Amino acid sequence: MAPQFLLNFQLVLLLLLMGQQNMGYKMPHVNIEIFNERGLKISIPDEARMQRVFVMLQVDDSCPVFMDCLTQATNGSWTSVQRIRLQNDDKLRVSLFVQYNNNIYEKSETHVILNTRFLTTQQSNTVNIWRSKAPETLDNSNENKCQLYRTLDRRLFKDCKPTNSITSRNSGSQVTCQGELIFEDDFSEGQLNSSVWMHDIRQRMYYVEEELVAFDDSPRISYVREGHLHIVPMVASEVTEGVYKLGDRCTAVDNRQLECSISKGSFFKINPPVYSAQLHTRESFSFKYGKVVVRAKLPKGDWLFPYMMLQPVSTYAETHFANQLRSRFQDLGSKF
């Protein structure tokens, strides 16, 4: 009987150890923040061995269901920003699936909105569901079920029809799905997203086709306010006098000597008469083939040449206006 007792003891001990390994992870507290009734941010702190996070949101138990797939943490947290309008008394159900140490854990919370604050009405414990209910295997074939609106990585689902378009981000190139939203910015976060948008800080090189302008990142010239990006050009006398020198701030794309400084008394150069802002996604985002929708107001006036355009990533296109596709611009010389 002793060997049988020892075998049973080892089996029970093994099961206990397996249970501790699989249930040892407890999902951290979920942080939810409303952005001026124009969206919300959901985040959880990052921990070692966390691999992916899936976020699913449902308002008032109705369709659609919104989903986000997070593949990496940013600044110590896994964060999802959703453009969902919430009102008082709305019920928000948040379901999180965390891949931790090659296991899938689930946690759900229900909140009620009260004066832009969240009151937690229901909360579940962390449950290890292994891989049987992982979001990438969810059945989306039943038309009576809620449609999942993905904000990232629709390729996880069977309904993805790849396009010929190639999207490039900081993390590399990827193939996208037909109808997928690959870029959006409504400037609702109160400040410019510096991980996406970059300022040119340089002057034009006075080619025949170039306007007489210098670009700067001064908050007097460009700023975000109430969900709008404002660009306000200024005449040079209000900005600088004497020698024009940008130093290490300069973001030259062709000739640093010409774009970054002008010596006092230079015979062939004059200081830029107008300062403005030019923002681009050259180093953070680009795409091939797609539909572009822009909502903007362009000013009219002498010396003003406002424009929005698509251009090749090559800096040659920037300095020679080569192969540009101007989606919107205003003629010179018109009165405001």
Question: Closest Cα partner for 81 from 185, 176, 208, 219?
Answer: 185
Domain ranges in the chain? 31-149, 198-280+292-329
CATH fold, domain 31-149, is Immunoglobulin-like (2.60.40)
pLDDT at position 274: 84
Please give the span between the terminal C-alpha atoms of the chain, in angstroms, as a whole number: 99
Question: Closest Cα partner for 82 from 104, 97, 65, 98?
Answer: 65
- Whether pLDDT at 46 is above 90: yes
Q: What's the rounded mean pLDDT across residues 56-71? A: 78
Average confidence score pLDDT of the chain: 72
The model's confidence at residue 137, banded by pLDDT at 50, 70 and 90, is: very low
Q: How far is CA 298 from CA 235, 237, 308, in A?
A: 18, 24, 10
Is the Cα torsion angle 81, 85, 86, 90 positive or negative in sign? Answer: negative
pLDDT at position 86: 75
The angle at the Cα of 72, spanning 70 to 75, to the nearest 5 degrees, equals: 115
pLDDT at position 261: 82
The model's confidence at residue 105, banded by pLDDT at 50, 70 and 90, is: confident
pTM of this prediction?
Answer: 0.52
Question: Closest Cα partner for 228 from 38, 42, 41?
Answer: 38
Q: b/e string for 39-78 if b means 16 or more Cβ within 10 A?
A: bbebbbebeeebebbbbbbbbeeeeebbbbbbeebeeeeb
Chain segment 290-323, per-residue pLDDT in tens: 888 888 888 877 767 788 888 887 766 566 666 6
- Whether pLDDT at 155 is above 50: no
